[in-house]
Amino acid sequence: MATIRLVEIENFRCIRHLQWYPTPGINCLIGPGDSGKSTILDAIDLALGARRTAQFTDADFHNLDIKDPIQITLTLGNLGPELKSIETYGLYLRGYDAAAKKIEDEPGSGLETVLCLNLAVESDLEPTWSLISDRARAAGQTRNLSWSDRERLAPVRIGALSDHNLSWKRGSVLNRLSDETADASTALLAAAREARKSFGKDADAMLGDALEIVTEVAGSLGIDVGAKAKAELEAHSVSVTAGTISLHDENGIPLRRLGIGSTRLMISGLQQKNAAETAILLVDELEHGLEPHRIVRFLDNLGAKQKEPSLQVFLTSHSPVAVRELAAEQISIVRRVGNRHEVRWVGDHPDLQGTIRLYPEAFLAHSVLVCEGASEVGFMRGVDQYLSDKGNGKSLFAAGTALVSANGYTNIMSRAEAFRSMGYRTATFRDDDYQPPIAEETSFELGGGSIFKWRKGHKLEVELFVTLPADAVGALLDRALEDRSEEEADSQLRSHSTNAVTLARVRDELAKGALSTEARVALGNAAGGNKDNKKAWFKSVGEMEEVARDFVMPSFIETDKEFKLVLASLRKWCLNG
C-alpha cells in the first residue's frame, strides 16, 4: 500500500514550517519535550485519516495567527493500481525523484508516480482536503481522494485510548482484517421479542397508576388507546450494530479491559496481519504502559527487525530502551531551528550504531559530553556523585547531560561532530598525550562545540598523580595494589621511568611527605598502562568512579589551580552554564 515520501507542514500548532522525507519502515521521532513530535503525528492523522470533517480552533494555528492558513501536504508513493488510475486521478499524478528529493508535476521515466494530498484550514476553521498538482490548478480542477481510497489509506493510530480497535467499529483494525461483516441486529430483534412478551405480563403491576393516567388523558383528548394503555418493549428499541460487537476472552471478559500496554501489543499484532490493507501506523509515546521487555516485543510487532518492513510506522518516544532496540536509520531527531522545524536523520551517521547500543540515553539528552574513553566517563560520574551527595549542586544528569565514550582519541572527533550536527549541545573531554587532528578540533569549535583537555602532554592518570597531595597519592597507590601484586606495580614503575623510580622509592618519599615530580609522573604513566590501555590500574567506569569520588574530590581544595580550572569549566558546561 501507499507510503508517505514527504511531509510538509505550515502554520500548524508549534510548527511554522517543516519539510521532512520519512523512510519506509519505522520512523522513531525523538527530541526535547514540546519540540513538535506529536504535532507531526497529528498532522499525518488529520491529513490522511478517513474523516469528513475535523474540529479546529484558533489554537491550532501557529502563534494563533489565523491570517496564514494551516497547510499539511503528504506526498504518497508506492501507489496501488487504483491510485494510479488515469481515469480517476490522471490530472493529479506527479513524479518523484527520490535521489534528488524533488517532485515533478508530471510522471516521467525514472520517476516514481506519486499523489500529493493537501489539508488546508482557513480562518473559518473549516478543513478542506484535496489532491494538488500544477496542472489541475491551471485547469481550475479540484478533487479529493475517493472515500473508498481514503478508508484504505487511513492510518491506524495507537494511543492512550485505542481500545476501539478491539471492536468491530468503523475504521478499526478488526474491521479491516477480512471482508466479513458483523451485524447483531437480527439476534437482538429475536431477543427483544421474547423480552417483550415477558415484560408485558408484569407491566401492569409495575406501572399501573401511570397507565391509568395515560388512558384517562388519551380519552379526554380523543386519542384511541383502547380500553387501557399498555407498557411493552419495542422490538427495535435497542439497536446493536457492528460497533457494539467486541472481542472477549473465553470467560466473556471484554479484551478492552486489558491494560494499556496489553491493548497496544494486541493492536500492533493485529495490524501486522492487516498490513496488506492499511500500511501506515501512528504510535505516540511508544513506551506508555509497557515494561522494558514489552517495549522490545512491541517494536518487533511494528517490524523493527524486518529487512523489508510491511508497515510504515511513525512513532514518538522518550525511552532509552526503545532507542537501543532500533537501528540508526530508524531514528530521527526533531529540532526547532529559528522559525522552522527540522527532522534530522540519525541514519546519516551509521557509525553511531555502537553508541546507540551502549549509550541510548545520550540521544534523549540535551547535551552530550563525548569522553575519550571509559576512564573519563567514570571520572565525571564520580565527581558528579561526590558533589551531589555533598549537596554542592545538582547532578549533571538532572541538567540533561549525557556521557559517551569514544573508545579512543582516534574516534572522539567523528563521534562528537555527529552529535553536534544532529543539534545536540556537544563537547569533548580528552587526554593530551595523543591529540586528534587540529583541523578537526578547530572545525568542531567553529561549529559551536567545546573542547576540554588536561594540560599539555598529560593523560588523566598523570594529571591525577601529579596534582593530588601526597597523602591522597599514597591512598590511591594502596587502592591500586588491592588488584595487583607489588612486583607487578614495581615492574611498571621501572618500565615507565627507565628504572629510575621503584615502588620502594615511592614509599620512602611518601613516608617523608614529599613526593618528587619524577615519582609522580612515573606513577601516573604506570597507572595509565601502555598505549592500548593494557595493564592500566583504573580503566573501567566503576574503578574511575571510585577514584574520583573517594580519592580526588575529598582532596580537591589541595590540588593545583590548573586542575581546578579544568574541572570547574567541565562542571559548568555539564550544568549548562
Pairwise CA distance, residues 517 & 521, whole Å: 6
- Per-residue pLDDT tens over the stretch 290-303: 889 989 988 988 88
Dihedral angle sign, alpha carbons of residues 372, 378, 381, 386: negative
Helices marked H in 221-328 — which ranges?
260-273, 292-301, 320-325
Over residues 212-225, mean pLDDT: 65
Percentage of the residues of the chain whose pLDDT score is greater than 70: 80
Q: Is the pLDDT of residue 275 over 50?
A: no
- Per-residue pLDDT tens over the stretch 91-122: 999 999 999 999 999 999 999 999 999 999 99
Pairwise CA distance, residues 397 & 416, whole Å: 18
How do strand 26-30 and strand 331-337 relate by DSSP bridges?
parallel
Identify the pLDDT of residue 355: 94
Over residues 472-500, mean pLDDT: 95
Identify the pLDDT of residue 274: 55
| Closest listed residue to residue 369, CA positions, set 429, 423, 456, 431 | 429
Residue 14 phi/psi, 5-degree rounding, is -80, -5
Return the higher-pLDDT residue of 462 and 181. 462
Return the higher-pLDDT residue of 50 and 269. 50
| Closest listed residue to residue 384, CA positions, set 367, 374, 371, 399 | 399
Q: How many CB atoms lie within 10 A of CB 469?
A: 14
**Highest mean pLDDT range out of 48-57, 258-267, 443-452?**
443-452
All three cell numbers of 569, joined, read 569549566
Over residues 115-134, mean pLDDT: 97
**Which phi-psi region, left, alpha or beta, contains residue 36 (left: φ > 0; alpha: ψ -120 to 50)?**
left
Domains assigned to the chain? 1-155+278-350 (3.40.50.300), 184-240 (no CATH), 365-577 (no CATH)
Pairwise CA distance, residues 146 & 428, whole Å: 55
Judge whether 549 and 385 are in contact, CB under 8 Å: yes
Q: Is the pLDDT of residue 410 over 70?
A: yes
Pairwise CA distance, residues 249 & 268, whole Å: 18
Strand ordering across the sheet containing 425-430 = 401-405, 367-371, 425-430, 450-453
Q: Hey, is 105 helix, strand or coil?
A: coil
Pairwise CA distance, residues 294 & 287, whole Å: 9
**Which phi-psi region, left, alpha or beta, contains residue 79 (left: φ > 0; alpha: ψ -120 to 50)?**
beta
Quick one: three-class SS letters along 483-536? CCCHHHHHHHHHHCCCCCCCHHHHHHHHHHCCCCHHHHHHHHHHHHCCCCCCCC
Q: How many CA atoms lie within 13 A of 25 on its CB side?
A: 17
Q: Rounding to the nearest 10 degrees, give the CA dihedral for residues 563, 568, 573, 574.
A: 100
Per-state percent for the chain, helix, strand, coil, to nearest 5: 45, 20, 40
**Which phi-psi region, left, alpha or beta, contains residue 327 (left: φ > 0; alpha: ψ -120 to 50)?**
beta
Helices marked H in 221-291 — which ranges?
260-273
E strands, 165-242, are none
How do strand 94-97 and strand 102-104 relate by DSSP bridges?
antiparallel
- Per-residue pLDDT tens over the stretch 145-156: 999 999 889 998
Over residues 410-432, mean pLDDT: 96
Q: Which amino acid is at 333?
A: I
Pairwise CA distance, residues 423 & 32, whole Å: 11
Q: Hey, is 457 helix, strand or coil?
A: coil
All three cell numbers of 162, joined, read 485505542
Return the higher-pLDDT residue of 79 and 529. 79
**C-alpha dist (Å) from residue 422 to 235, 446, 512:** 65, 15, 54
Q: Each residue of 305-315: b (16+ CB within 10 Å) or e?
A: eeeebbbbbbb
Over residues 497-501, mean pLDDT: 95
Percentage of the residues of the chain whose pLDDT score is greater than 90: 69
All three cell numbers of 423, joined, read 543539534
Q: pLDDT band at residue 320, thresholds of 50, 70 and 90?
A: very high
- Per-residue pLDDT tens over the stretch 73-87: 999 999 999 999 999
Q: pLDDT band at residue 241, thresholds of 50, 70 and 90?
A: low
All three cell numbers of 284, joined, read 505516540
Over residues 545-553, mean pLDDT: 96
Identify the pLDDT of residue 509: 95
Q: Hey, is 360 helix, strand or coil?
A: helix
| Closest listed residue to residue 467, CA positions, set 479, 454, 483 | 454
Q: Which residue's entry shows cell 514489552?
A: 294
Q: Is the pLDDT of residue 173 over 80?
A: no
Q: Rounding to the nearest 10 degrees, give the CA dihedral for residues 437, 443, 449, 453.
A: 30
Identify the pLDDT of residue 502: 96
Q: How many residues does the chain have?
A: 577
Q: pLDDT band at residue 496, thresholds of 50, 70 and 90?
A: very high
Over residues 158-182, mean pLDDT: 58
Judge whether 566 and 558 are in contact, CB under 8 Å: no
Q: pLDDT band at residue 560, thresholds of 50, 70 and 90?
A: very high
Q: Rounding to the nearest 10 degrees, give the CA dihedral for residues 150, 155, 160, 162.
A: 70
Among the residue ranges 196-200, 376-380, 398-402, 433-437, the one predicted with the least confidence is: 196-200
| Closest listed residue to residue 480, CA positions, set 540, 424, 532 | 540
- Per-residue pLDDT tens over the stretch 333-369: 999 998 999 999 999 999 999 999 999 999 999 999 9
Q: Which amino acid is at 300?
A: D
- CA 177, distance to chain mean position in Å, is 29
